[in-house]
Structures are given as C-alpha cells and as structure tokens.
C-alpha cells in the first residue's frame, strides 16, 4: 500500500481523530463519502424519511441502491472495526460490508494467482468493476490511515441537503469544491459567494436560485436546470453548460471565459457586461439573448448574426 502514502503536501489525521470523526457521522454521509450512493439518492431518502419511520439505510436498501447488509455493516460494525488492531486485509472488510461476495473473491484470487504478480486484490476488484476506486480510498483512509487529500466537503454537502429538506434555503459562503451534486433538486436556494470549483452539478435543478459571485470554475453543469438563476458576477471559467436550461438566467458581469454553452437554452438570458472570450455557443438563436456594449466577445463572434439583442 506504499502508493497510498501521502506526499509532503498531503494532510494526515491521527488514527484516533479519524475514528472519532467517522463514528459521529450519519449513515448517509458515510455512504456518500464512500461512493456507495449519490447525493440525489440521499436527497430522496431524506425526503421519504419525513413521511415514514424508516431509517435512511432501510430506504436506500428498499430502493436497491445499496444492500441491507451494507447499511447494517456501517451502522453496527464499522466503528468497532476502526478501533480494533491489528487490522485485517482489506478484502475482509469489503466482504463483511457486502461490497464483494465469495464468488467474486474467488475469481479475484484466481486472477491474482494466474497473473503471478503482486497486484493487490482490491486493484483487481476495481479492474473487474466490482468496486470503485473512491470506495477503496475510503477504506484505506479510515482503516489504515492512508489517504490522499481530496477537497470534498462531505459534511457540508450532506448537512446542506438535510437542512434544505427541512426548509432552509440560505447557504451562502459554503466551501463545496469538487462536490457531487449531480441530479439534486435545490430550487430557490441562496449560494452567494460560495466556492464550487470543479463541482458536479450535471442534471441538477437549481432553478430560481441566487448564485451571486459564486466560483464555478471548471464546474460541470451539463443538462442542469438553471432557469431564472442569478449568476451576477459569478466565475464560470471553463464551466460545462452544454444543453443546460438557462432561460432568463442573469449573467451580468459574470466571467464565462472558455465556458461551453453549446446546445444550452438561452431564451432571454442576460449577458450584460459579461466576459465571453473563448466561450462556445450555438451558431444561431431563434429567440432573444441579451448583451450590451460592455459585453466582451471574441473578435470572430458576431452577436447580431447569432440573433442576440443589444440592451
């Protein structure tokens, strides 16, 4: 496992800190960080929990998003495994969590023997598609105190979804770099001055939300519903907005350099004073898209020919 040791720029937590931190987390947050469920699935489970007495793990298992034995493993056994020493091989924990079965384990051992190499079982499991790299990284981090720093704020992400379901909408100033928000429905929320660099918002619904001065550099917003969103002075450098719904979105003063807006619905979108250098658009629009004399375009882009309207 030497390849997983952190370099000088990686951050380390002590074993006790990791155990204490992990034992206090709600199940949904643990499963999210382990890459076993998506944030959209967590959102649905939390909504359903309000209407019945089922536990989050039971709802996720009922919907076949995880196995019930996986939920039981993290609820009943995970904390004790974190505390016990010496540790068992990683395959033992993956088997106990229902993430590998005996048949798969047998196949992996055969492949390991046939290859006559020192390739680890978990690497073969990833190669075979039995388990994801993010899940392996999760186990290595918490069981063996070996991890590479990832700027994923799972506690903030999970708590935001939970608070939204309980009626809260003001989440301004959050640090949510690289978060997986794909598929979530977070209508009419306030994320002003938040940081969502490289966030995955693919197919999400943030309609009628306020994202003033939000940093969405390199964010994936493909197929997202962003109608009536206020992106005033937001940074969307190299953001992927392909085929997104940007009806009446306000990009006043926003930086969209190198952003990809091909196939996006820009009906009455507002690009006054926006920086659109290097941005990619569909060649012609049959509806109004607004700009002004302060809007910055590439020299080869003619907004009038594209059907844009000067404000």
- Kind of pairing between the strands at 290-291 and 309-310: parallel
pLDDT band at 136 (very low <50, low <70, confident <90, very high): very high
The string of DSSP codes covering 63-93 is TTSS-HHHHHIIIIIHHHHHH-SSPPPHHHH
Residue 109 has pLDDT above 90, yes or no: no
* Average pLDDT value for residue range 113-123: 77
pLDDT band at 36 (very low <50, low <70, confident <90, very high): very high
pLDDT of residue 116: 64
Distance CA 284, CA 137 (A): 46
pLDDT of residue 117: 63
274 or 15, greater pLDDT: 274
Residue 96 has pLDDT above 90, yes or no: yes
Domain spanning 151-311, CATH architecture: 3 Solenoid (2.160)
pLDDT of residue 12: 42
Residue 215 in 3-state DSSP?
Answer: strand
Q: Which residues of 143-153 are buried (b: 16+ CB within 10 A; e: fewer)?
A: bebbbeeeebb
pLDDT-above-90 percentage for the chain: 70
285 or 1, greater pLDDT: 285
Could you tell me the residue ranges of all domains in the chain? Answer: 2-144, 151-311
Whole-model pTM: value is 0.76
Least Cα distance to 271 among 284, 252, 294 occurs for 252
Residue 163 has pLDDT above 50, yes or no: yes
* Average pLDDT value for residue range 120-140: 91
* Average pLDDT value for residue range 198-210: 96
Task: Give yes or no for a contact between 201 and 222, defined as CB atoms under 8 angstroms apart.
Answer: no
CB atoms within 10 A of CB 16: 10
Q: Which of 6-20, 204-218, 271-285 has the lowest mean pLDDT?
A: 6-20
* Average pLDDT value for residue range 288-298: 96
pLDDT of residue 294: 97
pLDDT tens, 17-33? 555 656 678 999 999 99
pLDDT of residue 147: 56
94 or 198, greater pLDDT: 94
pLDDT tens, 42-59? 999 999 999 898 999 999
pLDDT of residue 16: 56
pLDDT of residue 11: 39
């Amino acid at each position: 496992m030497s390849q997983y040791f952190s370099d000088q720029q990686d951050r380390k937590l002590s074993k006790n800190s990791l155990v204490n931190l992990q034992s206090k987390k709600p199940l949904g947050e643990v499963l999210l960080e382990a890459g076993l469920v998506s944030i959209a699935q967590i959102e649905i489970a939390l909504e359903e929990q309000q209407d019945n007495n089922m536990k989050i793990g039971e709802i996720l298992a009922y919907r076949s998003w995880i196995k019930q034995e996986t939920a039981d493993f993290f609820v009943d056994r995970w904390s004790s495994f974190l505390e016990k020493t010496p540790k068992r091989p990683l395959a033992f924990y993956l088997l106990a969590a229902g993430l590998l079965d005996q048949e798969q384990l047998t196949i992996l051992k055969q492949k390991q023997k046939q290859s006559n190499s020192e390739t680890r079982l978990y690497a073969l499991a990833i190669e075979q598609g039995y388990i994801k790299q993010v899940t392996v990284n999760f186990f290595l981090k918490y069981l063996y105190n070996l991890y590479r720093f990832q700027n994923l704020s799972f506690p903030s992400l999970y708590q935001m979804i939970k608070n939204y379901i309980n009626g809260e909408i003001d989440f301004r100033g959050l640090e949510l770099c690289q978060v997986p928000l794909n598929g979530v429905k977070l209508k009419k929320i306030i994320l002003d001055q938040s940081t969502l660099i490289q966030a995955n918002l693919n197919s999400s619904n943030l309609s009628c939300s306020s994202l003033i001065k939000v940093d969405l550099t390199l964010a994936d917003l493909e197929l997202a519903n962003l109608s009536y969103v206020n992106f005033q002075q937001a940074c969307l450098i190299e953001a992927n907005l392909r085929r997104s719904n940007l009806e009446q979105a306000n990009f006043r003063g926003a930086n969209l350099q190198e952003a990809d807006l091909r196939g996006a619905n820009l009906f009455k979108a507002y690009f006054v004073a926006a920086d659109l250098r290097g941005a990619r658009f569909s060649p012609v629009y049959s509806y109004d898209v607004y700009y002004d004399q302060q809007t910055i375009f590439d020299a080869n882009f003619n907004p009038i020919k594209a059907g844009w309207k000067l404000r």
